[in-house]
């Protein structure tokens, strides 16, 4: 995953066409959209237990050949146009954060889905494991869904697939390149999904999905097998770049296909959707090959072991680490569950080249001189349970950091993870490790195009209208300004929010009706049951503490029976009996006052809570969570 982070209907505004709609609701309930439609439908989670995923040859979701028809893309191949047709472009994720990428394209009775990604939580989401886009609209229109297209194998483009497939009541074709399918298949195995229909595509191919024609063109990114899409429909044409950069010295030799992009431009691009992640970088993004030079230099000079943490899906980076290790006579150790799994998949499919002789198991490290080892691991984002996090804390089963070891953080911290990464670096430094991050050398470069590359892409495509995607609000607006600078009319630049829609027809492009949108929390085994209220309570518990009140009340005689019991946890002075006594007295007074006004149980609970909160604020400047139990006697 080369990046990550967070999440509507609106009236059109002149100039930059910015949406004035409500923000996405972050409750974990699907169906709580902010579009104009109400959604009270619930969906049964189904078990997909049939056979192991297979790479299919082109059958459609209905078993026919036509839905999966493919051919090599030909110059001038055009979909027939219908003056009465309307294409709806509906972003369900990816427009409020770097992550959760998911877009639906709907025309008549046909719909295709572009990507199905997730996002990882930050400090504002205690207890949450993953964050998914709300795909309620896809489930509501599952009968229209002709296929799911995945542009590349990063988690922010694939991670929602297992959850979506478990909720769909039908089998839908999933189209992606070979490595992407390999990573998806590994993900499905973890979730015990056995009947998915995976269909391999290649850049330069064209497939038909209902009334859509989709051409795939190669783009360079930080993972092999990335593609962009040229989508033709009866209503018009859309070019979606996917995640890309214009690296002219790529590790695998695959560059962005300028010839195909030019050809699509000649056919006419009514709307261009383009990756905005690097729009704030005013320059060109450096080549991935530059990182390899730095890594080789560090490894050649390191006196002891070298431990390198990177994203487990960054196959190009892993290849360069392996090459540098072998060149310097070192063996490579792979640790971290996702790193081991992805290494195995990439080697099996031919995307990662290193011989068995140069790989050793972490359990076989004992006895090997430290200056003959390079360890590839997860943990570049400071995750406490990752391999590097456990190594730094002395909790790894087989690897123990030693003074003189070299540690390389070969990634940029995702916004929100900076503190976690700093903690890990400090822990390593205390032990005596020599730590490299991007501040000490070019140990990481982005996989996303900078502003100059984005302008080149816009100039090549020459779109009639433009919609920036894949980024936070600042990235989208920066990309919109680049589009205007390259000649796109400001009135034809659309900055949307998740759940908004654009409608493309012979009459042009205009904003359409919104759909339910938002985010879904994965919390342990729970999917979609954790709401924002629950997260607010968790944050309150963690930051302010917890107090419970138990009181017996004689409602008939309007008196408090005995002394209320007040228990405080995580509250400054909560273990001091003076504060406990004062709290009990304050609650009793509040209850007596409320009883004198003929208050019921509901009013008694509120009076006790308000009284205790007022006291605690006055004494401690804390507002903890307070739970009041009233026993009627």
> E-assigned strands of 115-176?
130-133, 145-149, 173-176
DSSP H helices, 37-141, are 136-140
Q: In what order do the strands lie in the sheet with 526-527?
A: 130-133, 519-523, 526-527
Closest CA to 457 of 226, 276, 213: 276
For residue 170, count other CB atoms closer than 10 A to its CB.
11
Local structure of 480: helix, strand or coil: helix
* Options 96, 114, 115, 275, the catalytic residue: 275
Phi, psi of 447 (to 5 degrees): -95, 10
Q: Is 448 a catalytic residue?
A: yes
Q: Is 470 a catalytic residue?
A: no
Give the Cα-Cα-Cα angle 468, 514, 533 (nearest 5 degrees): 95
Phi, psi of 467 (to 5 degrees): -135, 110
Q: How far apart are CA 354 and CA 471, in angstroms?
A: 35
Residue 487 exposure: Cα atoms within 13 Å on the Cβ side: 10
> E-assigned strands of 194-340?
197-200, 205-209, 212-218, 227-233, 236-240, 271-275, 306-309, 331-335
Which pair of structure tokens corresponds to residue 620? 């401690």
User: Strand 212-218 and strand 227-233: pairing?
Assistant: antiparallel
CB under 8 Å to 537, separation ≥6 — which residues?
Answer: 625
What stretch of H or E contains 324?
helix 315-327
* Options 448, 470, 475, 479, the catalytic residue: 448
CB under 8 Å to 139, separation ≥6 — which residues?
Answer: 30, 41, 43, 167, 168
What stretch of H or E contains 359?
strand 359-360
For residue 202, count other CB atoms closer than 10 A to its CB.
13
Residues with catalytic function: 275, 448
């Amino acid at each position: 995953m080369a990046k990550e982070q967070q999440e509507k209907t609106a009236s059109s505004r002149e100039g930059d066409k910015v949406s004035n709609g409500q923000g996405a609701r972050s409750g974990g309930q699907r169906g709580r959209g902010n579009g104009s439609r109400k959604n009270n439908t619930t969906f049964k989670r189904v078990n997909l237990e049939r056979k192991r995923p297979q790479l299919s040859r082109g059958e459609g979701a209905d078993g026919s050949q036509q839905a999966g028809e493919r051919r090599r893309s030909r110059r001038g191949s055009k979909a027939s146009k219908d003056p009465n047709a309307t294409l709806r472009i509906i972003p369900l994720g990816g427009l409020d954060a770097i992550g959760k990428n998911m877009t639906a394209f709907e025309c008549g009775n046909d719909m295709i889905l572009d990507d199905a990604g997730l996002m990882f939580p930050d400090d504002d989401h205690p207890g949450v494991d993953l964050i998914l886009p709300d795909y309620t609209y896809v489930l509501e229109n599952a009968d229209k869904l002709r296929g799911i297209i995945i542009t590349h194998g990063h988690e922010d483009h694939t991670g929602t697939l297992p959850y979506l497939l478990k909720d769909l009541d039908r089998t839908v074709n999933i189209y992606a390149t070979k490595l992407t399918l390999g990573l998806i298949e590994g993900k499905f195995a973890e979730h015990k999904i056995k009947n998915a229909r995976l269909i391999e595509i290649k850049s330069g191919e064209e497939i038909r999905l209902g009334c859509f024609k989709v051409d795939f063109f190669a783009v360079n990114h930080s993972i092999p097998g990335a593609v962009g899409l040229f989508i033709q429909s009866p209503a018009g044409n859309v070019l979606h770049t996917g995640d890309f950069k214009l690296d002219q010295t790529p590790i695998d030799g695959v560059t962005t296909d300028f010839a195909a992009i030019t050809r699509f431009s000649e056919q006419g691009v009514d709307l261009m959707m383009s990756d905005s992640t690097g729009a704030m970088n005013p320059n060109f993004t450096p080549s991935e090959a530059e990182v390899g030079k730095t890594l080789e230099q560090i490894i050649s000079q390191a006196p002891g072991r070298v431990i390198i943490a990177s994203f487990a899906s960054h196959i190009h980076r892993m290849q360069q680490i392996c090459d540098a290790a072998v060149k310097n006579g070192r063996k490579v150790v792979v640790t971290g569950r996702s790193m081991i799994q992805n290494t195995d998949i990439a080697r099996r499919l031919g995307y990662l080249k290193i011989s068995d002789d140069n790989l050793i198991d972490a359990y076989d490290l004992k006895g090997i001189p430290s200056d003959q080892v390079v360890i590839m691991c997860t943990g570049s984002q400071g995750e406490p349970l990752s391999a590097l996090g456990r190594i730094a804390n002395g909790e790894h089963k087989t690897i123990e950091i030693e003074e003189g070891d070299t540690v390389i953080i070969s990634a940029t911290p995702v916004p929100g993870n900076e503190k976690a990464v700093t903690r890990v670096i400090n822990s390593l430094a205390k032990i005596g490790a020599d730590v490299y991050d991007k501040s000490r050398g070019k140990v990481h470069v982005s996989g996303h195009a900078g502003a100059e590359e984005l302008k080149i892409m816009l100039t090549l495509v020459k779109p009639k209208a433009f919609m920036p995607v894949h980024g936070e609000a600042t990235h989208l607006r920066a990309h919109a300004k680049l589009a205007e600078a390259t000649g796109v009319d400001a009135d034809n630049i659309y900055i949307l929010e998740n759940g908004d829609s654009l409608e493309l027809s012979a009459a042009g492009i205009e904003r359409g009706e919104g759909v339910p949108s938002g985010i879904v929390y994965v919390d342990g085994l729970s999917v979609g049951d954790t709401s924002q209220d629950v997260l607010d309570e968790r944050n309150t518990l963690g930051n302010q503490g917890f107090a419970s009140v138990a009181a017996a009340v004689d409602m008939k005689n309007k008196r408090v029976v005995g002394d209320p019991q007040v228990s405080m946890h995580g509250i400054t002075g909560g273990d001091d009996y003076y504060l406990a006594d004062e709290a009990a007295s304050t609650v009793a007074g509040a209850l007596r006052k409320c009883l004198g006004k003929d208050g019921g149980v509901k009013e008694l609970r509120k009076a006790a809570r308000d009284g205790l909160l007022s006291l605690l604020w006055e004494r401690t400047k804390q507002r903890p969570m307070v739970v009041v139990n009233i026993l009627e006697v």
